[in-house]
Chains A and B, each alone.
Chain A
Amino acid sequence: MTTDAITKIETDGLNLFYGEKKALDAISIAMPEHQVTALIGPSGCGKSTFLRSLNRMNDLIAGVRIDGNVFIDGTNIYLKNVDVVELRKHVGMIFQKSNPFPKSIYENVAYGPRINGESNKKALDDLVETSLQRAALWDEVKDDLKKSALALSGGQQQRLCIARALAVNPDILLMDEPASALDPIATAKIEELIYELKVNYTIVIVTHNMQQAARVSDYTAFFYLGQLIEFGETKKMFTTPEVKQTEDYITGRFG
C-alpha cells in the first residue's frame, strides 16, 4: 500500500437521484490501481448504488439521474460518446447471487470472448483455462469442462462467475457482496482469490460484512445516508478511524 499509488477510478462530486430522492450526495473519492477498495455502511447508505455507477449499471434504472463525474483512467465514463458495452468490458461485475448461464462450464467462460468475436478454438481454450486458473477454479473443474455450470457448488459457481468476468480481460472488477450467500470455507476461498486478483486488477467490493472488508481490502470507504463519511487505508480505518461515526459503525454501536 503506497500513498503515491496511481488513481484508477475517481469520482468527483457524484450525485445520484432516484426520482426526487437523493441517493448519493457529492461523492468524491479516488481509488488506487491494483488495490482492493471496500465500500461499507448500513443498508440503504448508497454503497451498492455507488458501485453500480462505476460501470453505468444505473443507466438501466428508470428515473435515475446522475450528475458529477466518474473518471476511469482519467476518462469521464458519463460522456455521451462513451460506449457502455466497451466500458463494461473493462469494468467487470460480480453479483451477490452467482448467476451462471445454464450451459457448460466451458461455455460460460467462453461466452464473453465469443460475443466479442473470438472464434479460434485454440484461443478460446487458452482463455477458458487462464480465466479459470485466475479464478482458482481450474484444478477443480479441468477434467469436466463440459459439465453443466449449474451442477457446481455455490462457491464454485461464484468463482465461475469471476472466471467469466475475467475472460473478457477487464482491468476493474466490481463485486457486490460476492460471498454473502456462501459458507465460511467458500467465503475464505473467495477472499483469498480477491487478495490474489488485485495483482492484476483493481477491485471494488461492497460488503455488509465489516470483518470481510477488514480482511480483504486495502482501502475502505464508509457510506452513510448517501454520503461518504470516511475513506482511507483499511488498516487505519479499523484501528484509528478519524470520524466518530465510522468508529461507532465498525464497532457495532449503530447501523
Chain B
Amino acid sequence: MQRHFDRDLDSLKENLARMGSLVDDQLDASCRSLFSGNIDLATVVIDGDAAINEMDNRIEKQCQSLLALNQPVAVDLRLLMAILKINRDLERMGDIAVNIAERTAALAPHREFVRSTRLEEMASIALIMVREALDAFINTYPPLATRVLESDDIVDTLNRNVFYRMVRAMQNDHRLIEACSHILILSRHLERLADHATNIAEDVIFLVEAKVVKHQTSIRPTGVTGE
C-alpha cells in the first residue's frame, strides 16, 4: 500500500539533496576563490549563503510537519531524525564556505605561501568526504559512509601538520603572522568540514542499519566494509 506519507518523505529527501548540492557548490567555489585569489568568486559565495539559509528553514519546517502529522516510527523516524541532523550539518558547512570566501581577499597577496601549505590537499579531501557522505545518503549506501569515516583521520593529521608549520613559519618570519593566523583558522574550518561530513556519514549508517556509530572511534559498523 502506497502511503501519502511516502510521497511527502520523497519531497523532503529531494529538498535535502538540493540543499546538499547547493552547499557542495558553495564549498567548491569558496575553495577555488581562496586558492586562486578570485575575490569576485568569493563575493558570489558570500551572497549565495542566503539561499542555503532559506532551504535550511524550509527543510526544518517540512520535518516539523511530518513529525507532528504522521507520528513516524522505525525507519521513518530514523529518516526524519537523520534529515534534521544532516540539514543542520549542511547549514554549518554553508557557513564554513562563507568563512573561507571571506578570507580570500586577505590571503590573495600570499597565494604562493598558501600553496606551500597542505591546505589545498586538506580542502580537496574534505570536499570529497562531503560529496561521498551526500552520495551515501542519496543512495542509502552505508559502505560509502564508512569510507567517509575512515578519511576523517587523514584530515585531522593534515590539520595538525598545518598547525605546526604555521607556528614555525610565524616563529621564522613575523611578517607572516597575519597570513598564518588566517591559514590556522582555515585549517580548523576544513577540519570541521570533514567532521560535518563524518556526522552525515554516521547518520546514514544510523538510518540504514539502525546502529549508532558516533562517539565510538574504534567501533565501525559490522557487515559494512569500505569499497
Q: Are B68 and A214 in contact (CB under 8 A)?
A: yes
Q: Are A214 and B71 in contact (CB under 8 A)?
A: yes
- The 0/1 profile, CB within 8 Å of A marked 1, for residues 69-92 of chain B is 111000000000000000000000
Q: Are B4 and A235 in contact (CB under 8 A)?
A: no
Q: Of B2, B4, B64, B69, which is within 8 A of A234 by CB?
A: B69
A34 to chain B, nearest CB (A): 15
A137 to chain B, nearest CB (A): 13
Chain A-chain B contacts (Cβ-Cβ < 8 Å), number:
27
Q: Are B70 and A188 in contact (CB under 8 A)?
A: no
Closest residue of A by beta carbon distance from B69: A214
A230 to chain B, nearest CB (A): 15
Closest residue of B by beta carbon distance from A188: B1
A3 contacts partner chain B, Cβ-Cβ < 8 Å = no
Q: Are B68 and A192 in contact (CB under 8 A)?
A: no
Residues of B within 8 Å of A235, CB to CB, are 65, 68-69
A56 contacts partner chain B, Cβ-Cβ < 8 Å = no
Q: Are B1 and A215 in contact (CB under 8 A)?
A: no
Q: Are B4 and A195 in contact (CB under 8 A)?
A: yes
Q: Are B70 and A239 in contact (CB under 8 A)?
A: no
Q: Are B68 and A239 in contact (CB under 8 A)?
A: yes
- The 0/1 profile, CB within 8 Å of B marked 1, for residues 205-232 of chain A is 0000001001100000000000000000
Q: Are B3 and A188 in contact (CB under 8 A)?
A: yes
Report the Cα distance A238→B69, complex, angstroms: 7
Q: Of A192, A234, A238, which is within 8 A of B3 by CB?
A: A192
Q: Which of B2, B64, B68 has the most CB of A within 10 A?
A: B68
A134 contacts partner chain B, Cβ-Cβ < 8 Å = no
Report the Cα distance A147→B80, complex, angstroms: 44
A189 contacts partner chain B, Cβ-Cβ < 8 Å = yes
Which of under 10, 10 to 19, 20 to 34, or 35 or more describes the interface residues of B?
A: 10 to 19
Report the Cα distance A189→B3, complex, angstroms: 9
- Name 18 A/B residue pairs within 8 A (Cβ), A-sorted: A188-B1, A189-B1, A192-B1, A192-B2, A195-B4, A211-B71, A214-B68, A214-B70, A214-B71, A215-B5, A215-B69, A235-B65, A235-B68, A235-B69, A238-B68, A238-B69, A239-B65, A239-B68
Q: Are A192 and B4 in contact (CB under 8 A)?
A: yes
Report the Cα distance A194→B64, complex, angstroms: 23
Residues of B within 8 Å of A188, CB to CB, are 1, 3
Residues of A within 8 Å of B70, CB to CB, are 214-215
From 82 to 115 in chain B, residues with beta carbon under 8 angstroms from any chain A beta carbon are none
- The 0/1 profile, CB within 8 Å of B marked 1, for residues 89-117 of chain A is 00000000000000000000000000000
Which residues of A are at the interface with B, using a C-beta cutoff of 8 A?
188-189, 192, 195, 211, 214-215, 234-235, 238-239
Residues of A within 8 Å of B68, CB to CB, are 214, 235, 238-239
A220 to chain B, nearest CB (A): 10
Report the Cα distance A129→B64, complex, angstroms: 40
Q: Are B4 and A239 in contact (CB under 8 A)?
A: no
A89 to chain B, nearest CB (A): 29
Closest residue of A by beta carbon distance from B3: A192
Closest residue of B by beta carbon distance from A189: B1
Residues of A within 8 Å of B71, CB to CB, are 211, 214-215
Beyond the given pairs A188-B3, A214-B68, A239-B65, 19 more chain A to chain B contacts, judged by CB atoms under 8 angstroms and listed by A's residue number, are A188-B1, A192-B1, A192-B3, A192-B4, A195-B4, A211-B71, A214-B69, A214-B70, A214-B71, A215-B5, A215-B69, A234-B69, A235-B68, A235-B69, A238-B65, A238-B68, A238-B69, A239-B64, A239-B68
Closest residue of B by beta carbon distance from A250: B68
Closest residue of B by beta carbon distance from A136: B1
Report the Cα distance A62→B70, complex, angstroms: 40
Residues of A within 8 Å of B65, CB to CB, are 235, 238-239
Report the Cα distance A195→B1, complex, angstroms: 13
Residues of B within 8 Å of A234, CB to CB, are 69
A20 to chain B, nearest CB (A): 40
Residues of A within 8 Å of B4, CB to CB, are 192, 195
Residues of B within 8 Å of A239, CB to CB, are 64-65, 68
From 157 to 215 in chain B, residues with beta carbon under 8 angstroms from any chain A beta carbon are none
10 cross-chain pairs, A with B, having the tightest CB-CB distances, nearest first: A238-B68, A214-B69, A195-B4, A239-B68, A235-B65, A211-B71, A239-B64, A238-B69, A215-B70, A215-B69
B80 to chain A, nearest CB (A): 14
